[in-house]
């Protein structure tokens, strides 16, 4: 092998490098971090105190171009590296103040929108340790404590699912969509043999995914990325509670096996996104076992029910799944993003990828491969996503997480009761968790066609969030628009829910008057 010989290049002047180093020092000065960090803690605590008390709007609504213009203007006003530490600290505080004043306020008790929580505030401080010191963790030696924290939480949550230590495996990845993709990639490789090396076979019947009819859109997206194609996602009909029907699943799997059509996996939900329905997992697992099909459960939202003695019955049978996704940035109330992927059989943990990367993984320490997350995760560089959950669990213990589930799930039932008691509201379902879907039906729309009633819900929601009073979302149930609430702030009270109904009535009257 011919050795590499670099060409002669002109060297930069030493004085130029010294000048650059002096300028860089301003950004790396520990004293700037100390003074800016003190201001940050003060601003954040003051902001949360006001927001958690219900002051101000849930979202200070502006059109996107307005905000982009403001953010761009701030870039142009940078004081620069030559500015004094005092000026830089003040500029930092000004920028943080703008950020806090312009963003959505998830800690506001009238935030009851997407499945994104009012996160435990101190979790962000644990996250900040990983962010400031930059603890990437593709390999153990680059993030030893980040790896340890992740492994500790995998063990705790896996045992909460119902598995025995040493029998299962898990990892953290960046979000539920990536987590579902990772688990289904593993299922594909197990189901289709040498597909990693040779690709999805083009001869014979195409492989399929068999999924809950209301499965999250990322499942279909995964089918596309896995080379299966979204046309080969087969949706299982639902029962009267919008849960997967195990009998129909059994029929579909039996038919596919009779036709010798490869099945990558069956995908169940705990719980589904539209209304929070928990599938009957023991019956679904029985069908999958009979037909030798990998069972994957998307428990991104509902997995936390494992930690609540009051609600763990909702996830009975979760331990029977071959793979599970569970988002800590939902019902474990962590900042985004922190999503867990679990495998019931530890032997499957290296089926996801079959690659060699000699520049990354050290063959002189093969025992460390078990702890190198890059061998099992899509990401190479991965943030220390478990620091927040590990820190909060180590600070408060598991009871906090049971309480968070109990309070927010309980509030789902409180809202349901208020909707049932109100003549001008119609709940779409009896909620199993903190996701509640309903419609506002004033007298003027009592006999309206479904299209008009659904359009009214969509327009009403838009008016409500732009007012800043509440943040809720919308959905379609049976192709008719509806309002959807996720009570994912433990500071939301029954009084706030009464205010929600009143605000919807008020905005509805204005909307009808204008129409």
Q: What b-and-e string marks burial along 237-251, b requiring 16 or more CB atoms within 10 Å of the CB?
A: ebeeebbbbbeebbe
Three-state DSSP class for residue 454: helix
276 near 435, Cβ under 8 Å?
Answer: yes
Beta-carbon contacts of 275 under 8 Å, excluding residues fewer than 6 positions away, are 214, 242, 428, 429, 431, 435, 437, 477
State residue 515's pLDDT score: 80
Beta-carbon contacts of 346 under 8 Å, excluding residues fewer than 6 positions away, are 166, 167, 168, 169
State residue 439's pLDDT score: 98
- Strands 480-486 and 435-440 turn out to be antiparallel
The single residue listed with the structure tokens 């039932």 is 413
What tens digit of pLDDT does each residue of 261-307 get?
A: 999 999 999 999 999 999 999 999 999 999 999 999 999 999 999 99
CA distance 271 to 287: 19
Q: Which two tokens stand for residue 3?
A: 């050795």
Low-confidence ranges of the chain (pLDDT < 70): 1-12, 355-367
Alpha-helical runs (H) found in 291-432: 387-396, 399-421
Query: What number of CA atoms fall less than 13 Å from residue 14's CA on the CB side?
Result: 0
State residue 359's pLDDT score: 45
State residue 375's pLDDT score: 80
Starting at the earlier edge strand, list the strands of the sheet with 233-236.
169-173, 339-343, 323-327, 295-298, 263-269, 208-212, 233-236
State residue 240's pLDDT score: 93
Three-state DSSP class for residue 477: strand
Q: Which two tokens stand for residue 176?
A: 């539920």
CA distance 299 to 326: 5
Q: How many CB atoms lie within 10 A of CB 81?
A: 13
State residue 271's pLDDT score: 94
């Amino acid at each position: 092998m011919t050795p590499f010989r670099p060409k002669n290049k002109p060297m930069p002047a030493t004085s130029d490098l010294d000048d650059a180093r002096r300028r860089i020092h301003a950004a790396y000065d520990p004293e700037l971090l100390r003074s800016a960090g003190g201001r940050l803690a003060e601003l954040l605590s003051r902001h949360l105190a006001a927001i958690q008390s219900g002051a101000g709007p849930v979202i200070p609504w502006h059109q996107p171009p307005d905000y982009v213009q403001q953010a761009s203007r701030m870039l142009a006003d940078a004081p620069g590296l030559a500015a004094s530490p005092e000026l830089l600290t003040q500029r930092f505080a000004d920028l943080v103040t703008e950020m806090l004043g312009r963003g959505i306020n998830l800690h506001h008790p009238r935030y009851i929108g997407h499945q994104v929580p009012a996160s435990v505030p101190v979790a962000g401080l644990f996250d900040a340790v990983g962010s400031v010191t930059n603890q990437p963790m593709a390999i153990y030696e680059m993030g030893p404590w980040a790896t340890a924290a992740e492994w500790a939480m995998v063990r705790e949550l896996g045992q909460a699912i119902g598995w025995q230590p040493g029998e299962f495996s898990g990892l953290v990845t960046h979000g539920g969509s990536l987590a579902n993709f990772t688990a289904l990639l593993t299922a594909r490789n197990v189901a289709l043999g040498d597909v990693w090396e040779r690709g999805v076979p083009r001869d014979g019947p195409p492989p399929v995914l068999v999924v809950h009819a209301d499965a999250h859109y990322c499942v279909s997206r995964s089918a596309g990325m896995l080379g299966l194609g979204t046309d080969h996602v087969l949706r299982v009909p639902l029962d009267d509670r919008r849960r997967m029907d195990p009998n129909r699943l059994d029929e579909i799997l039996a038919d596919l096996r009779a036709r010798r059509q490869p099945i990558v996996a069956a995908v169940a939900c705990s719980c589904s996104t539209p209304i929070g329905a928990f599938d009957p997992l023991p019956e679904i697992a029985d069908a999958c076992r009979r037909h030798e099909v990998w069972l994957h459960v998307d428990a991104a939202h509902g997995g936390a029910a494992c930690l609540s003695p009051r609600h763990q019955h909702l996830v009975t049978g979760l331990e029977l799944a071959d793979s599970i996704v569970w988002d800590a940035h939902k019902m474990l109330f962590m900042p985004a993003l922190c999503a867990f992927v679990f495998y019931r059989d530890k032997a499957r943990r290296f089926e996801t990828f079959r690659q060699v990367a000699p520049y990354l993984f050290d063959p002189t320490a093969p025992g460390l491969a078990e702890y190198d997350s890059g061998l099992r995760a899509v990401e190479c560089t991965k943030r220390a996503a478990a620091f927040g959950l590990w820190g909060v669990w180590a600070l408060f213990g598991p009871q906090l997480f049971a309480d968070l589930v109990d309070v927010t799930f309980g509030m789902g039932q409180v809202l349901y009761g208020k909707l049932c008691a109100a003549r001008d509201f119609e709940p779409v379902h009896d909620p199993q968790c903190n996701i509640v879907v309903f419609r506002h039906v004033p007298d003027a729309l009592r006999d309206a066609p479904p299209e008009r009633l659904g359009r009214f819900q969509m327009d009403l929601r838009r008016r409500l969030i732009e007012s800043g009073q509440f943040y809720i979302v919308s959905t379609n149930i049976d192709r008719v628009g509806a309002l959807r609430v996720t009570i994912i702030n433990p500071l939301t009270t029954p009084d706030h829910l009464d205010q929600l109904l009143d605000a919807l009535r008020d905005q509805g009257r204005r909307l009808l008057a204008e129409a």
